[in-house]
Structure 1
Amino acid sequence: MSYDFAEQDLVHIRSVVSHFEHAVDRARDIEPGSVASLNYWRARVTTILATPTLPMHVEKQARDVLGLLDRLDDACRCDRSGDARAPF
């Protein structure tokens, strides 16, 4: 995977995660099956992180996206359990 492609893919993944965040904000819930979708996006980011000699700035971007995915996953779990939502 080229570094340019990795950066472009991270921009795309961040956009998808942003869509999920806004869906949670509007509906207070993500449709069923979206957690599996979060795992799909997490796997794509993990694949980028596995790229040999990945530049530090791309690695930082990927780790930031993983953090967003983790917070979104936590918020979804809180919504389903009836607890207060974690802030993004």
Structure 2
Amino acid sequence: MSYDFVEKDLAHIRNVLNHLEHSAGNLHACETGAAIDLHWWRARIQAVLATPLLPIHIERQARDLLVRLDHLPDQSGLRTGDAR
């Protein structure tokens, strides 16, 4: 089974997180404004983790992205991993 799509999706998410991390201080001033939904990105990563027979190197990449996502503040001021 080819995991090319999954790896490309993770690469895309990594690029988005790079952008968000560099503009974290200005999340409200981003041109996308309220369209930034960190929970949506989390769901995409979790969908990758739910892929059957996921190779360990892809699982590690996905889990690393979740950790990075947890360190970004969402629009309510909570981190994405915090309970509401």
Please confirm whether the aligned pair reaches a TM-score higher than 0.5, indicating the same fold: yes
What percent of counterpart residues are identical? 50
Structure 2 segments unaligned to the other structure (5+ residues): 79-84
Q: Tell me the TM-score normalized by structure 1.
A: 0.71
Distance 2:65 2:19 in 1: 13
Establish whether residue 45 from structure 1 lines up as the match of residue 45 from structure 2: yes
Q: Tell me the TM-score normalized by structure 2.
A: 0.74
Establish whether residue 29 from structure 1 lines up as the match of residue 26 from structure 2: yes
Distance 1:66 1:43 in 2: 10
Tell me how large the CA RMSD over aligned residues is: 2.2
Q: Provide Cα deviations, 1:6-59, integer angstroms capped at 9, x if missing partner.
A: 1110010010011111112xxx2312535x511111100000000001000000
Structure 1 segments unaligned to the other structure (5+ residues): 79-88
Partner of 1:7: 7
